[in-house]
Amino acid sequence: MGTSAAGTIQFLTHQRYSTSCFKTFYYNAILPLQAAYLVPVLNMLLSQGVAGASHAMIQKPEVVIIAPTRELAIQIHQESRKFSHNSVIKTVIVYGGTVVGHQRSSIQSGCNILVATPGRLKDFVEKQVLDFSNVKFFILDEADRMLDMGFGPEIEKIASHPTMPPVVRVDFQMCRPFFNVNSIYRQGKRQTLMFSATFPGDVQQLAGNYLHNYIFVTTGTVGGTNPDVRQEFHEVARNEKRSKLMEILADIGDAKVIVFVDSKKTADFVAAFLCNNNIRVCTRVCYRL
């Protein structure tokens, strides 16, 4: 587990707010790292004796996790189900592009942890399917990506919803470093976390709006390149890309290689080209990169 993930777990258990900035290469490539916050979240829910959610027309989840894309939301949902296996915690996922009725039924069947994309979450909030009064953890994963995709207004509407508990307004400098978690839960306060591969000005403003006296956890230099990755740039004409790719692969030899392209169609095309040149290849589409 990376240092930022470990730091996230440490301050979560001490009820601190956070925004975390990870090295892009590791953060996007290693799934357990991006879902590390689920470990202390689930532990704290179970230690507080949170009951498994039952069927109700309006659900009151204890955790709301917002992700920018369906693919990332699905990954987080899978990790949450894995970590909460054999417990009373129920995790539900909602995202756009699928039947609303089925997702609505899934929510109303019981929801402790809700993983959602901003647009579909806003839709269910407007339909009065959700009530945020029990929310203990409000998590924004890949906050920079959500802002780039124009989801700022949706996040603002959700965070400022009348049923959303207020942030903890405590002067931590005047408190003992370890204070009673139960007292915060009884006050109906929420803990907010943000995760971002970069930390531009709009993400800093978002952190200032929703996090109070937060801790900023990083790995590497914010805005800098990853020192563990050597970067080379080759400028070639469009019709020379395939020959240049073959040249690079020949220089690399038998090492495993990941080739990133801009679309599924291009991925299939490149895979077919490499197969025709006796190079073993498989494809995977990951829209959130």
Give tens-digit pLDDT for 18-47: 444 444 333 333 334 457 788 888 988 998
Say how far residue 105 (Cα) sits from the centre of its chain: 24
Give tens-digit pLDDT for 203-229: 677 666 666 666 666 666 655 666 777
Give tens-digit pLDDT for 124-158: 999 999 999 999 989 888 888 888 888 888 888 89
Chain-wide mean pLDDT for the chain? 77
Give tens-digit pLDDT for 69-79: 998 999 999 99
Place of tokens 């290849």: 281
How many H-runs (helices) and E-runs (strands) does the chain carry? Answer: 13, 7
Strands (E), the chain: 18-21, 63-66, 91-94, 113-116, 137-141, 191-196, 215-218
Q: Specify whether the backbone of 76 is left (phi greater than 0), alpha (psi in -120 to 50) or beta.
A: alpha
**Who wins on pLDDT, 24 or 14?**
14
Q: Could you state, in order of their start, the residue ranges of all structural domains in the chain?
A: 3-218, 231-289
Mean pLDDT for the stretch of residues 170-197: 50
Main-chain phi, psi angles of 81, to 5 degrees: -65, -35
The CA–CA distances, whole Å, from 237 to 234, 240, 241 equal 10, 5, 7
Q: What is the distance between the alpha carbons of residues 276 and 288, in angstroms, rounded to a whole number?
A: 29
Say how far residue 251 (Cα) sits from the centre of its chain: 36
Structure tokens of 35? 């879902």
User: Which class would CATH give 3-218?
Assistant: alpha beta
18 close to 216: Cβ distance less than 8 angstroms:
yes
- pLDDT at residue 102 in the model: 94
Structure confidence at residue 247 as a pLDDT band (50, 70, 90): very high
Place of tokens 């005047």: 174
Main-chain phi, psi angles of 271, to 5 degrees: -60, -45
> Which residues, including other chains, have CB under 8 Å from residue 24's CB and lie 6 or more apart?
197, 198, 226
The CA–CA distances, whole Å, from 223 to 21, 22, 218, 288 equal 10, 10, 11, 19
